[in-house]
């Protein structure tokens, strides 16, 4: 019955290959008639899984293309609305009520413009069509530049930023994308950190990795998990109307991973922490 033992080994191998994700693997013709049906069933399971994955990938691609196209098509009319609103605001002898309406239109148009841009960016990078320019970057410099760009907002906030960065922590990534990542994380802290508390930003080396962290105490209950908050359109407090698109962390995660890094959110009670990891380069 040596052929039977060989057939069982073939079935085990086929099941293992499918478990690993090799859905195109097929168990060959077996000699044992009573276990031949098992092999056929395993092959059919692989075919079904492959079809399901292909359909899911196709649906995701079509969705991404739709969002990208719609976001692009919205840019022209939005630009016109913003331009004409600005012209109206400069007109003299307008009634105060009309000025109020113009101000509301301008504010809502700007919010829609930012949302459209965020949609376009996150869809583009997740579709794999984003062009990245890799260069050697210093983690401390990236953090300090991001803080400098938000200096006015930080001074106006009721938060104290504590920064601790080690020297000579170099990574390989796209500088513009990583600036956006850190900027989004600082924006997130400015919006959602509890007032009169501290925001801690650090960069250090561990196990030949460069790790950048931003952590703060949340002002609102964090009734979500770490995976949910990095999804599209998710905000920590769903009742807020601060004009955010809910895409800030999704963009930060997408850009970090596109650059070859790892992006994680850690939630512990009221503590919110974003962790970015890159392999250290010399």
* pLDDT score at 24: 85
- Residue 90: exposed, middle, or buried by beta-carbon count in 10 A (0-12, 13-18, 19+)? exposed
Task: Return d(Cα 122, Cα 254) in angstroms, integer.
Answer: 7
Q: What is the mean pLDDT of the chain?
A: 85
What values do phi and psi take at 71, rounded to 5?
A: -60, -40
Tens-digit pLDDT profile for residues 57-74: 777 677 667 777 777 788
Task: Return d(Cα 265, Cα 228) in angstroms, integer.
Answer: 10
- Exposure on the CB side of residue 277, measured as CA atoms within 13 A: 8
Q: Which residue has the higher pLDDT, 84 or 204?
A: 204
Mean pLDDT (whole number) for 152-168 = 94
pLDDT beyond 80 at 243? no
* pLDDT score at 241: 47
All domains in the chain, ordered by first residue: 1-130 (1.10.287), 134-279 (3.30.565.10)
Tens-digit pLDDT profile for residues 108-148: 888 888 788 777 777 777 766 678 899 999 999 999 999 99
Q: In the sheet that 262-268 helps form, which strands lie side by side, from edge to edge? A: 159-165, 197-206, 209-217, 271-279, 262-268
Task: Return d(Cα 238, Cα 244) in angstroms, integer.
Answer: 11
């Amino acid at each position: 019955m040596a052929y039977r033992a060989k057939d069982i080994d073939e079935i085990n191998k086929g099941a293992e290959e499918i478990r690993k994700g090799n859905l195109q693997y097929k168990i060959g013709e077996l000699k044992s008639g009573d276990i031949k049906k098992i092999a056929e069933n395993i092959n059919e399971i692989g075919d079904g899984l492959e079809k399901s994955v292909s359909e899911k990938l196709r649906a995701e691609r079509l969705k991404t293309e739709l969002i990208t196209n719609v976001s692009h098509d919205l840019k022209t009319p939005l630009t016109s609305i913003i331009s004409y609103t600005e012209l109206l605001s400069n007109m003299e002898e307008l009634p105060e009520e009309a000025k109020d309406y113009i101000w509301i239109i301008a504010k809502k148009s700007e919010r829609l413009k930012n949302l459209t841009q965020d949609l376009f960016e996150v869809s583009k990078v997740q579709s794999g069509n984003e062009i990245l320019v890799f260069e050697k970057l210093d983690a401390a410099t990236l953090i300090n530049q991001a803080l400098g760009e938000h200096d006015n907002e930080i001074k106006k906030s009721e938060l104290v930023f504590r920064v601790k960065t080690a020297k000579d922590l170099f990574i390989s990534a796209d500088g513009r994308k990583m600036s956006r990542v850190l900027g989004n994380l600082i924006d997130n802290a400015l919006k959602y950190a509890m007032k009169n508390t501290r925001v801690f930003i650090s960069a250090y080396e561990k196990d030949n990795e460069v790790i950048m962290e931003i952590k703060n105490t949340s002002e609102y209950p964090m009734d979500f998990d770490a995976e949910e908050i990095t999804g599209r359109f998710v905000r920590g407090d769903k009742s807020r109307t601060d004009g955010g698109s809910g895409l800030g962390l999704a963009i930060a995660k997408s850009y970090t991973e596109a650059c070859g890094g790892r992006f994680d959110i850690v939630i512990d009670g009221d503590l919110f922490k974003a962790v970015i990891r890159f392999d250290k380069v010399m």
